[in-house]
Amino acid sequence: MLQAIGLTSAPRRDGPPVVDDLTFEAPSGSVTVLLGAPGSGKTTALRLMLELETGRGVTYFKGRPLHRIGHPAREVGVLLGDVPGHPARTARGQLRMLCAAAGVPASRADELLDVVGLAGLGDQRVGTLSAGMDRRLGLASALLGDPHTLVLDEPTAGLSPREKSWLHGLLRAHAAEGGTVLHTTGDPKEAARAADRVITIGDGRLVADQDVADFSRTRLRPRVAVRTPHAARLAAVVSREARATRRSVEVVAEGGSRLSVYGSSCAEVGDTAYRHGVPLHQLADETGDAGPVTAPARGPGGGPARGQDGGPVRTVLPGPASTVAISKLPPPISVRPARGPLRPLRYEMRRLFGVRTATLIMAAVLVVSACLSVLLARSGRTPLPDLLVAWPDLLPLPPAAFAAGLLGALSFGDEFRYPALAAGRGTVPRRLGLLVAKLSVSAGVALLLAVLSVLVDAEALRLVYGGDLVGVPANAVQLAASWAGLSVGCAWAGLLGAGVFRLTGAGVAAVLAVPVLVVPLMQKLLAGPSARSISGLPGRLRELGWLQWPYETDRWAMAVVRVVAQPVGLALSLSLSALICAYVFTSLRGRARW
């Protein structure tokens, strides 16, 4: 069961809140529809229930609020708007990435593709899917964790009548298994056809809470749809006979050759047309909307006044919710979601390599690095370490280090641009496991790119100029540590910069700020003569008593200290420290607000 109690959105500057003290229930084993006109607060109510919007009130899913549920994907399936996936990712890759985030087997993706009718389109890119296919993929994403509750915002928007019938059948099947279904719509006839219970809201307040039978009786009214080439003549004779017999009959011209007759029946209209020799091309019983229910402006006492406005009549095939055909459901998951660090690591690996962006960037950087290395070697004035990493004086960073920073920035930048983990929020949950996974994967990719760039550059130099040019420097270990630290530091600077400012460009700017702004500042601070030396630091640390290590590690400790003490290393360390503090601050602020 879903229970929403006192949902109230944050007040607006120029008016009342979008949702004001909304309370209702959606029982298990039934389909509940949240009905309202555009702007009535349906979507805001769902966002409040899912803790994606600031405000007051609480929503219980089987007795627990969402932030108290250990595995939200196993309890609540959500579809808000379009599928928040990278347009270059395939439908199967999108679902497998979400499987890793939810901790369910990757085979679940293929099962859901088959259920929603996308088995043959698993390799099609998300950006090329039609509106109907996009809604199917979104429903598959909501069903990945085999949730008990489905919360869907306008799930039939843009669908054909056949696709609407299929979707309603799938929701009906989920409810038949004991699940809870809540979805929004602005069409009263769709609510009457597909729901067990209809919650009507207007201006953010509850207008009516009815079962489908009461809703159909009070909100909808039967009519006779007529199509005839003599519409004006038939309308006149039907109205004249109704006045003669003192019956309440209303005839509405729908334009062209169509009429809608309220308060009569097919038999009466057909007899009238026969008596007056009017040919009929269509004669059918249908259901029309009695008009949108609205909550008028609040008075001084705050009590809402209820009323009805007339509205256009649209056709719909009649049929109660019980007549909706039940569709096929995915098989249940028999295992609990996996815990531990592998879950976010698998998600991040599938997110990174699920599109070709990372592979193309790495390939392009290796080619550029090899070409630069060959060009720099022509003059004979570039030192060998700079040749191996292709770092000319004109560039603030070597190509491989900049690419590591760019990939790190994309790690969080894509999350904010295509928020797959938190649909509709625009951000991702700032959990420690996800951050550690991103730091680990970005560091691994940066080290791989650093090693590959050195190997490719060395091979390019050997191929063009011969093997005499390439050798092993005397301080190869220290150079390797510096190169690895620079690459990983750039990757982390880009990642944290994009995480703080929620933009890929901000992450790239954070990477470039280190050599362009911070390094010159460090060089000015360290340019003066030094009266003190850090030699003997490991021995002094050992004297503290609580640090004990073999004496052989002193040389390695001093090497690390010397690397960090370099202007670039010191600047990168300070930048990373500032970014980490900013990330922690924004995380705590976001957690307090939500």
pLDDT given at position 213: 83
| Mean of pLDDT values over 273-286 | 90
Please give the mean pLDDT across all residues of the chain: 82
Q: Bigger pLDDT: 163 or 546?
A: 163
Can you tell me the distance from the alpha carbon of 404 to that of 486, in angstroms, rounded to the nearest whole number?
10
Whether residue 79 is predicted with pLDDT greater than 70 in this model: the reply is yes
Domain assignment present for residue 93? The answer is: yes
DSSP 8-state code for residue 125:
B
pLDDT given at position 482: 85
Find out whether 59 and 5 touch, Cβ atoms under 8 Å: yes
Q: Per-residue pLDDT tens for 527-574? A: 656 556 556 555 655 565 555 555 555 555 555 555 555 666 667 777
**Which residue in the block uniquely carries the two structure tokens 């006492």?**
301
Other beta carbons within 10 angstroms of residue 282's beta carbon come to 12
Q: Bigger pLDDT: 525 or 55?
A: 55
Q: Per-residue pLDDT tens for 393-449? A: 888 899 999 999 999 999 999 888 888 776 555 455 557 788 889 999 999 999 999
Domain assignment present for residue 194? The answer is: yes
Report residue 593's pLDDT band, with 50, 70 and 90 as the boundaries. Answer: very low
Tokens in use for 85?
A: 């996936």
Domain identity same for 367 and 383 = yes
Q: Per-residue pLDDT tens for 458-515? A: 999 999 988 778 888 777 888 888 899 889 999 999 999 998 888 999 999 999 988 8
Nearest CA to 230 among 261, 262, 253? 253
**Ranges of H-type helices in 390-475:** 399-417, 432-465
pLDDT given at position 381: 86
Other beta carbons within 10 angstroms of residue 123's beta carbon come to 9
Q: Bigger pLDDT: 319 or 484?
A: 484
Nearest CA to 480 among 456, 454, 459, 461? 454
Q: Per-residue pLDDT tens for 100-109? A: 888 888 889 9
pLDDT given at position 277: 93
Quote the domain boundaries for residue 238. Answer: 220-293+311-323
Domain identity same for 269 and 201 = no
- Length reported for the chain: 594
Find out whether 264 and 242 touch, Cβ atoms under 8 Å: yes
Domain assignment present for residue 331? The answer is: no
Can you tell me the distance from the alpha carbon of 460 to that of 326, in angstroms, rounded to the nearest whole number?
64
Please count the structural domains in the chain.
Answer: 3
Can you tell me the distance from the alpha carbon of 128 to that of 231, in angstroms, rounded to the nearest whole number?
45
CATH number (domain holding residue 121): 3.40.50.300
Report residue 294's pLDDT band, with 50, 70 and 90 as the boundaries. Answer: very low
pLDDT given at position 214: 86
Can you tell me the distance from the alpha carbon of 444 to that of 506, in angstroms, rounded to the nearest whole number?
22
Domain identity same for 509 and 364 = yes
Whether residue 343 is predicted with pLDDT greater than 60 in this model: the reply is yes
Domain identity same for 62 and 181 = yes
Domain identity same for 118 and 252 = no
Domain identity same for 380 and 512 = yes
Listed residues 187, 217, 247: the one ending a domain: 217
Domain identity same for 194 and 229 = no
Whether residue 337 is predicted with pLDDT greater than 60 in this model: the reply is no
Sheet of 180-185: strand order equals 76-80, 149-153, 180-185, 30-35, 197-202, 205-211
Whether residue 192 is predicted with pLDDT greater than 90 in this model: the reply is no
The three-point CA angle 351-353-359 to 5° equals 140
Other beta carbons within 10 angstroms of residue 256's beta carbon come to 9
Q: Per-residue pLDDT tens for 224-242? A: 889 999 999 999 999 999 9
Domain identity same for 196 and 230 = no
pLDDT given at position 563: 53
pLDDT given at position 429: 58
Domain assignment present for residue 335? The answer is: no
DSSP output for 218-239? HHEEEEEEEE-TTHHHHHHHHH
pLDDT given at position 336: 52
CA terminus-to-terminus distance, the chain = 23
Tokens in use for 215?
A: 């809703």
Listed residues 217, 241, 269: the one ending a domain: 217
Q: Bigger pLDDT: 320 or 169?
A: 169
Report residue 223's pLDDT band, with 50, 70 and 90 as the boundaries. Answer: confident
pLDDT given at position 289: 59
Tokens in use for 387?
A: 């040749």
Query: pTM for this one?
Result: 0.75
Whether residue 126 is predicted with pLDDT greater than 80 in this model: the reply is yes
Choice among 55-59, 203-207, 254-258, 452-456 with the minimum mean pLDDT: 254-258
pLDDT given at position 502: 87
How many angstroms separate the Cα of 347 from the Cα of each of 182, 255, 304? Answer: 28, 56, 48
Report residue 71's pLDDT band, with 50, 70 and 90 as the boundaries. Answer: confident
Can you tell me the distance from the alpha carbon of 248 to that of 264, in angstroms, rounded to the nearest whole number?
8
Listed residues 169, 194, 217: the one ending a domain: 217
pLDDT given at position 542: 57
Residues in Cβ contact with 401 at an 8 Å cutoff, skipping those fewer than 6 apart = 389, 446, 450, 486, 487, 490
| Mean of pLDDT values over 312-338 | 50
Domain identity same for 211 and 234 = no
**Strand, helix or coil at 8?**
strand
Report residue 323's pLDDT band, with 50, 70 and 90 as the boundaries. Answer: very low
